[in-house]
Structure formats: structure tokens, C-alpha cells
Amino acid sequence: MFSLIIVNEAKAQFQCKRFVEKRCKVFWDDYVPNPQNILAELETGQTSELNMIFYRGHDYRVILCGEEHLGDLRFKILSSKGDVLFDNQEYDMTQEWDFTMSTTKRLIIEVTAPGGGGDFVESGCVAVMIGLRPTPKKGF
């Protein structure tokens, strides 16, 4: 039983990785992508959180990519205390967001697959991809 769960989990991760490689074409511009995409299998209505340290003096780009049948993913960026710093629901459900860190902080990226609450539950692959670059110096 335990080995069956591990095999199914490994298979799901492999399928998610393949999905990202084929379907998640990302334009990083001058951002350097984190080589480790964060992958998750989410069910409709399910929320997943990613805790990460973001460093002062850097710009970040967060990009979400999910299987089409999941619809537009909702994502929030929260402070470590749970204060909402960004909610894509306020920005036409954008699946990409750029921001600059003025201080080093631990932030939470919260991703929710829409739907749920009904009799039919679907699941699908979701990738959270993060890129960074040094914040450009401005002025003289």
C-alpha cells in the first residue's frame, strides 16, 4: 500500500514536470528563472502555500501555469503574518506578477484552483515559477 502511494506520487510529479516543459512557455526577459519550478497537483477548490525568502535589492517575477481545465488560478502574496500584499483577483486574475523587494522578507505564495464544492472534483497540475534579477539602479 505505501509503495503504491509513492509510485502514484512519483508518476504525478513526472506528469506535472512534462506538462510544464510542454505547455508553460514563459517569457523571462532579463529575469533569471529559478531552476526548480514548484509543482503541485491541485484539486478544484484546493489551496496550496509556498513559503519563501525574497531578498532586498531584487526584482521578482512570479508566474503561474496550470492545466486549462482548472481555469484561472487565484494567487495571493502574503506577509509572514498573513497580511495580503497582492491578490490577482484585484488584477483581472493575472497569472504573472512583478515586484521589487526593499527589505528581505519571508513571504507566502498562496495558490487556489477555482471551483470545488460540487459533486465532481477535478485535479490538475499547477506550476509556480519564480524569476529574479538585481533591482536596476536609477538616477545619477
List pLDDT tens digits, range 44-63. Answer: 899 999 999 999 999 999 99
List, in order of start, the domains of the chain with CATH numbers. Answer: 2-134 (2.60.120.380)
Q: Which of 1-10, 24-33, 66-75, 112-121 has the highest mean pLDDT?
A: 66-75
Q: What is the pLDDT of residues 21-33, one digit of tens each?
A: 888 877 788 899 8
- Please, are residues 101 and 57 in contact by the beta-carbon 8 Å criterion? yes
Question: Is 111 exposed, middle or buried, given 0-12, 13-18 or 19+ CB atoms closer than 10 A?
Answer: buried
- pTM greater than the 0.85 cutoff: no
Q: Which residues pair with 130 in a beta bridge?
A: 62
Q: Give the lowest-confidence range in 20-34, 79-93, 98-112.
A: 20-34
**Can you tell me the distance from the alpha carbon of 101 to that of 135, in angstroms, rounded to the nearest whole number?**
8
Alpha-carbon gap, residue 20 to 12, rounded angstroms = 12
Q: What is the mean pLDDT of residues 128-139?
A: 91
